[in-house]
Amino acid sequence: MAVFKRLSPAFIRRRFTHKAFFMGVVPVYINLDTTDLAVRNWVPDWTLDAVEWITCKVRGLLLKVNRNYEPGGDILLTGPIDKGGK
């Protein structure tokens, strides 16, 4: 859990390539090459599950209302992770 077991800056730079938002709400780190995903520090892991559950329910409702509905992407990239630094 990123609240109590925070990721070190060195680990983040080594393992992930970008900062992003999952479903536009949950701040995450992502590696675009391996698709590894982790919540950012100080964000509880369960937020990923909660937001995914809510969006699945909303998408199901939208598909019932409009059969032509096509869901967009789940990840909003906000920028690369700086590989320099300490």
Domain ranges of the chain: 9-76
Per-residue pLDDT tens over the stretch 19-34: 999 988 999 999 999 9
Share of the chain above pLDDT 70, in %: 93
- Residue 19 sits at φ, ψ, to 5 deg, of -95, 150
For the segment 23-46, the average pLDDT, to the nearest whole number, is 92
| Amino acid identity at 2 | A
Sign of CA dihedral 78, 79, 85, 86: positive
